[in-house]
Amino acid sequence: MTDFNLTLSQEISAAPTAVWRCLTEPELLKQWFAPSPVTITVAEIDPTPGGGFRTVMEVPDMGEMDGGWGCVLLAEPARRLVWTSALGPAFQPNPAPGHGQFVFTADITLTATETGCRYTAKALHASDADRAAHEAMGFHDGWGTAANQLAELAATL
Amino acid sequence: MTDFNLTLSQEISAAPTAVWRCLTEPELLKQWFAPSPVTITVAEIDPTPGGGFRTVMEVPDMGEMDGGWGCVLLAEPARRLVWTSALGPAFQPNPAPGHGQFVFTADITLTATETGCRYTAKALHASDADRAAHEAMGFHDGWGTAANQLAELAATL
């Protein structure tokens, strides 16, 4: 089996506990999760298996985009956070996405290093077509810019 | 939010630990999970978050039906088992099901009673249409018959 993944990995000069806070505290999440100039107007997360995850983005000249409810699957403090858009809170399946859209699971791991931690974000898809669509949407640039914002924010905590 | 669920609940004259074994040990699972005269020819389960879950059924006059890989989401021994067909092993999204098919999450809880335990199996769906399709497919009869088989098997352990 192949997981049709896209992966972003980079060093962050902050402790895993600081990065974990940025991943799981709504007020911190809002500050880095969307790549500038996109901003986050609403962030909700209950970092426990079955907990809900939701962000609303504000895209310049386009307005608000509600990502809808996803579901937290694993939450191992300062180590690993997994959530998916295939399910909503309490593990309830979400309706299938519309044409040209796709679901994915985000599998984020933090590994302590001498200078902070390595942040690895993997996006898992159901098919190669979904993976390609996510890549064409700008996965590497978008998640890369967001990861830089995460690194800057975590370093201030 | 509504969870569009179907629920089956019944008393079982066996300890939660015995029922748990029937839910999570492949050789036991094969003996009760399909309502007779349907049988299970293959059962695989890794009862840990992210573990795979799969059964192949043998339906008289129809042959084998492979349910494909699902994913275990929660496994609290002798208390609660949750798995979903929306995801496969390692939380990878499954392709959207074909027309007329649906995904669901099974949320199974065991509660100790004076004579054994109460077994409650809830099937969560993405929409009322999916819930209705699962009901029309014979959810209550099928899961009810299987639960009786589960009760009989667990009482022998």
Per-residue confidence (pLDDT) for residue B103, from 0 to 100 = 96
Least Cα separation, residue A155 to chain B (angstroms) = 30
How far apart CA A17 and CA A133 sit, in angstroms, is: 33
**pTM of the predicted model as reported, rounded to 2 decimal places:** 0.95
Give the Cβ contact number of residue A39 at 10 Å: 15
How far apart CA B38 and CA B41 sit, in angstroms, is: 10
- Paired tokens of B117: 């335990």
How far apart CA B20 and CA A42 sit, in angstroms, is: 40
Interface test with B, best of A74, A87, A102, A128 (most B CBs within 10 A): A87
What ipTM was estimated for this complex?
A: 0.94
Using the Cβ of A124 and the Cβ atoms of chain B, whether some distance falls under 8 Å is answered with: yes
| Low-confidence spans in chain B with pLDDT less than 70 | 1
| Low-confidence spans in chain A with pLDDT less than 50 | none
Least Cα separation, residue A134 to chain B (angstroms) = 14
How far apart CA A93 and CA A17 sit, in angstroms, is: 31
Using the Cβ of B68 and the Cβ atoms of chain A, whether some distance falls under 8 Å is answered with: no
DSSP assignment of A52-91 equals: EEEEEEEETTTEEEE---EEEEEEETTTEEEEESSB-GGG
Per-residue confidence (pLDDT) for residue A2, from 0 to 100 = 76
From the number of C-beta atoms within 10 Å of its C-beta (0-12, 13-18, 19+), residue A58 rates as middle
Residue B109 · residue B139 · CB < 8 Å: no
Least Cα separation, residue B35 to chain A (angstroms) = 25
Per-residue confidence (pLDDT) for residue A45, from 0 to 100 = 98
Interface A–B counts its CB contacts (< 8 A) at 91
**CB under 8 Å to A156, separation ≥6 — which residues?**
none
